[in-house]
Amino acid sequence: MTKPVFTPSREWSEDAHVNSLPQYKLIYRKSKDSPESFWTGIAGRMEWIKKWDEVKEEDFVNGKIRWFKNGKLNVSANCLDRHVAEGNGGKTALIWEGNNPEEDQSFTYSELLTEVQKCANVLKGIGIQKGDRVCMYMQMVPQLPISMLACARIGAVHSVVFGAFSADALRDRINDSECKLLITQDTGVRGTKQNIPMKINADKAVAETPSIEHVLVVKRTGETIKMQSDRDSWWHEKMDTADAVCAPEPMDSEDPLFILYTSGSTGKPKGVLHTTGGYLVYAAYTHQIIFDYHEDDIYWCTADIGWITGHSYIVYGPLANCAVSVMFEGVPNYPDFGRFWDVVDKHKVTLFYTAPTALRALMKEGNEPVTSRDLSSLRLLGTVGEPIKEPEWNWYCNIVGKGNCPIVDTWWQTETGGILITPLPGATPLKPGSATFPFFGIEPVLMTEDGHEIEGNDVSGLLAIKHSWPGQMRTIYGDHDRFIETYFSQFPGYYFTGDGARRDDEGYYYITGRVDDVLNVSGHRIGTAEVEGGIGKADGVAEAAVVGFPHDIKGQGIYAFVTPMTGVDGNETLAEKIRQSVIADIGPHVKPDKIQFTPALPKTRSGKIMRRILRKIAEGDVDDLGDISTLADPSVVESLVKERV
């Protein structure tokens, strides 16, 4: 039986929003027993132009989820105007820390409001209207959150595409949601890379995106780039002449706010659609309670805005709470492995939220980069994106947090909009590796494969959620049937997460990872089918199967089994072609770590690849490969094991 290893001190808990386990349990029970009245109280903290007339509609059979029905509000007004009107215009909203240590910039709430209004007018001037889709393909520059909030202000729907995606991946995402405008930048800087070709990639993509009418280009580096005069314009030129007043558009609670693409186990990436009222309420409330945000905190989430963590916990949650939110353009090891801690010291960060993969990379470098910096401002640490193991949890707790900071290991997904399972820092005794207990209003259940709820403690199963919560995604853009099929068909009446989990003898949840063909590489969610598609585009490849294997830093690495075409040699030249093909098709973050050539893949007699066997081989667990008698040709396995890389 694992016992909690960390309990917040009395002083810590005293000032916390939720300050004891009994208090957590009490509020949790209320939220579960009367969700309508619970969420009515929480949603009332936002500024509504018109109050809703029904709290929620929840129909998992048809995938119909609605929150705060017929309410009207504007997200940018809630994140900006409301705070300025309350006298907080002079408070810092956003601190941008550049990749190069001497570069930073901050915006007060008034300044950010002005920028957002100007940008909103620029969008309108370009012809963007309510409901139009706008794609952003940018690195971590302040113009990214500014343009997101500007979209929210006029009711346009943003679709942020992570800046490491390739031109082809960008093209497919733009085409899927038929974006009218693309916002990008000249080139990008990240670590030692001082010239990432953003505009060049954007041009390549836009050559095959008929819906794009205009490209707006932020000057980040000043690198010379080609502008196409009838299509492209500079951000700064348009902003210079834009009017600084733009009234926020009253939006329906269920109007779309954004689309964000994420990977599934099959097919093309899914455009996860989040709407306005429920998403904002959930992002703001979880940010406040889980990070125990108070008005003098300096909050830093190191994620990229190209992923959901950045949307909910750099932009919308913190700004809705009138927080100071730090955004960072760089990487943890540039100019050296102390960079995170330099930034903490420089801006006196109190709440720090990062990914286990970053911690593993930093831990490997020893304690000196941490202990040589002053981290005394820190009072809370958080992690997200993948399971955190005991060694890095202990290092985070003892070396970074000096044993004084609670760690919130937050479990959630692009689809959930906000955190669902998490400790509450002033209340929950912590166990390393456990995301602990459900947040208010969330009812996790463990299911058997055949759809029965597993009761009691000390059990494992498939993680599903009973009942809706305000931040839940509403559909897959353009494919509602896929939405129902993916999330609600496996266990009718429940939302299925795709994760497996264990509930220990004290009811603590441990997320054990994906149970589908989705990998988690350095906290990036990657569909094996997508990587296989990229490999298949390399000349000379007949067939490929991709699985994950445990990787010290990345959490999971990508292991590709590839069958070359007849007459083609499975050599380093082909391996390099494969890597380049994947980079061109998706991006460098999904480059296979290992490639094993094989004359054949293990298949059943009906032609289905047996991934279970490939997984075991990739993991090096070759002594017991289980039943291989159903294979069409069991001898394939022997050579696969022998040739393991």
Please check whether residue 602 is in contact with residue 575, taking contact to mean a CB–CB distance below 8 angstroms: no
Task: Tell whether residue 359 is a contact of ligand PRX (CB under 6 A).
Answer: no
Where is 292: in which H helix or E strand? none
Task: Tell whether residue 304 is a contact of ligand PRX (CB under 6 A).
Answer: no
Report in angstroms how near the CB of residue 56 gets to ligand PRX at its nearest: 23
Task: Tell whether residue 412 is a contact of ligand PRX (CB under 6 A).
Answer: yes
Task: Tell whether residue 434 is a contact of ligand PRX (CB under 6 A).
Answer: no
Question: What ranges in 99-157 are assigned the alpha helix state H?
Answer: 109-126, 143-154
Report in angstroms how near the CB of residue 126 gets to ligand PRX at its nearest: 31
Please check whether residue 225 is in contact with residue 200, taking contact to mean a CB–CB distance below 8 angstroms: yes
Task: Tell whether residue 317 is a contact of ligand PRX (CB under 6 A).
Answer: no
- Tokens at residue 283, please? 């992002």
Task: Tell whether residue 517 is a contact of ligand PRX (CB under 6 A).
Answer: no
- Tokens at residue 348, please? 């006196």
Q: How far, in Å, CA of 537 to CA of 606, rounded?
A: 25
- Within 8 A by CB and 6+ apart from 484, the residues are 61, 62, 63
- Residue 345 DSSP SS3: helix
Q: Which residue has the tokens 């999971």?
A: 556
- Within 8 A by CB and 6+ apart from 352, the residues are 300, 302, 344, 378, 380, 381, 382, 400
Binding mask 253-282 for ligand PRX (x = CB under 6 A): ---------x--------------------
Task: Tell whether residue 410 is a contact of ligand PRX (CB under 6 A).
Answer: yes
Identified binder of ligand PRX from the candidate list 385, 406, 425, 555, rule CB under 6 A = 385
- Tokens at residue 201, please? 């990639």
Options 14-22, 51-59, 399-407, 493-501: segment touching ligand PRX (CB under 6 A)? 493-501
Task: Tell whether residue 544 is a contact of ligand PRX (CB under 6 A).
Answer: no
Task: Tell whether residue 176 is a contact of ligand PRX (CB under 6 A).
Answer: no
How many residues form the binding site for ligand PRX (CB under 6 A)? 23
- Within 8 A by CB and 6+ apart from 642, the residues are none
Identified binder of ligand PRX from the candidate list 253, 309, 404, 598, rule CB under 6 A = 309
Give which of 617, 500, 512 is closest to 555, Cα–Cα.
512
Options 224-232, 307-315, 316-324, 452-460: segment touching ligand PRX (CB under 6 A)? 307-315
Identified binder of ligand PRX from the candidate list 520, 556, 581, 596, rule CB under 6 A = 520
Task: Tell whether residue 386 is a contact of ligand PRX (CB under 6 A).
Answer: yes
Task: Tell whether residue 525 is a contact of ligand PRX (CB under 6 A).
Answer: yes
Task: Tell whether residue 387 is a contact of ligand PRX (CB under 6 A).
Answer: yes
Closer to ligand PRX by Cβ: residue 162 or 337: 162
At residue 220, what are phi and psi to the nearest 5 degrees? -100, -50
- Residue 265 DSSP SS3: coil
Where is 385: in which H helix or E strand? none
Binding mask 360-379 for ligand PRX (x = CB under 6 A): --------------------
Positions that interact with ligand PRX (CB under 6 A): 262, 307-309, 384-387, 409-414, 435, 497-499, 511, 513-514, 520, 525
